[in-house]
Every structure is written in structure tokens, then in C-alpha cells.
Amino acid sequence: MRGRLSGVLVVTVLVLAAAAIYAIAAESGAPAGGAAPAAGPAAGPGGAAPAMTPEEMLARSEDRMKTSGASEGTIMRNRQMQMAQFAIEEPIGLVALKDQLKLTPEQLKKIQDIVASARTQAKAVLTKEQVDMIDKMKDTPDSVIAFSAQMRSRMGSRRGQRGGAAGGE
């Protein structure tokens, strides 16, 4: 009996070691055996999709938006929201945190004025063609939360047109 338990223990340890090696290889994108990777992206741990670069994620998002019938302006707005980087002290970011920062009405007004002035100054630098391009984004949501809600709604209504997720996909 003791010899059998010892054998089961050895097999269990080997299985766990193989699983750990597979998980490490999957995370690095290399196959567990060290051979050249097969064509196509390697699956991550548990068969999950591999990690994508920000550019790949953006391209995938834009492809889905085109498929859902999003306008050129909406796709541009998505790119703007996804790729924008701003400092912690960015005025528009401070406005978004007005409650957490406990901004006084006077502080909020001053920061909103700074935001409006910066927008006017930035737009003045653009050419007529560039202004025309950004004007395509005028009827798009003005926050990531509102944008996400609009896209979920759009994608949900398109699924309904195809007969729902179970029947149409």
C-alpha cells in the first residue's frame, strides 16, 4: 500500500510540474517543449487568448466598430479616447474628480475656464481640413463610460437583428 501511495505521489508531482511548465511557456508565448511556435498566436494559460499590444487591441476594437456600423467620427472618437494620455493634473481630469477633490464652486469654474480656453487655443492651431476631421466627432459621446454604453447598445441591437447570440452567431 505504501509503495502504491508513493507512486501516486510521484505521478501527481510530475503532473503538477508539467502543468507549471506549460503555464510558464504559455505566458511567454513559447511552446513547453522549446520548439518553434506553431503558426498563429499562442494561447495563454487555460487556453485564454494571448496578450495583445495596445495597437492590436485598438485595431480589433475599430474592426468591431466598423462591423457594427459605427460612423467614421465614432471610430475616430474611440481612437482618441483609447490613445489619449494625460497628466494627473490635467484640467479636464480634475473636473472629473471634482467631488473626490472637494473642489469649491470657484475652483471648478476656474478650471472649467482653463479647459475652455485650452480647447479654443488648440483648435486655433489646426488647419481647416483638420477642423473638418474633428467636426466628424461632434455627435459622439464625451466620456468613456457614455461611449461604452453606446457601443454595447449598438452591438446588442445588431445581435437582436441577427436573431440573438444563440441563434445568430
Could you list the pLDDT tens digit for every one of the 169 residues in the chain? Answer: 544 444 444 444 444 444 445 455 454 444 444 444 444 455 555 666 678 888 898 899 899 888 888 888 888 888 888 888 888 899 989 999 999 999 999 999 999 999 999 999 999 999 999 999 999 888 887 788 888 887 788 777 666 655 554 444 3
Residue 38 resides in a domain: no
Nearest to 96 by CA among 84, 77, 81, 111: 111
123 lies in some domain: yes
Give dist(CA 100, CA 94) in Å, integer.
9
Do residues 119 and 88 both lie within one domain? yes
Side chain identity, residue 3:
G
C-alpha to C-alpha distances, 90 to 23, 87, 105, 155, 168, nearest whole angstrom:
41, 5, 18, 32, 44
Does residue 37 lie in a domain region?
no
Report if residue 103 sits inside a domain: yes
* 154 within a domain of the structure (yes/no): yes
CA 84 to CA 97: how far, in whole Å? 18
Judge if 8 and 59 occupy the same domain. Answer: no
Tens-place pLDDT, residues 6-47: 444 444 444 444 444 545 545 444 444 444 444 445 555 566
Q: Residue 16: which domain range?
A: 1-31
Q: Are residues 96 and 146 in the same domain?
A: yes
Residues 63 and 23 in one domain: no
List CB contacts of 8: < 8 A, sequence separation 6 or more: none
42: in domain: no
Q: Give residue 86's pLDDT.
A: 80
Residue 49 forms part of a structural domain: no
- Grid cell locating 58: 485598438
* Domain count across the chain: 2
Same domain (yes/no): 129, 63: yes
Residues 22 and 105 in one domain: no
DSSP string, 122-148: HHHHS-HHHHHHHHTTTTS-SSHHHHH
The answer to whether residues 88 and 14 belong to one domain is no
In a domain, 24, yes or no: yes
Look at residues 49, 48, 50, 52 and name the one whose alpha carbon lies nearest to residue 60: 52
Residues 25 and 62 in one domain: no
The pTM for the full model equals 0.54
DSSP at 85: -
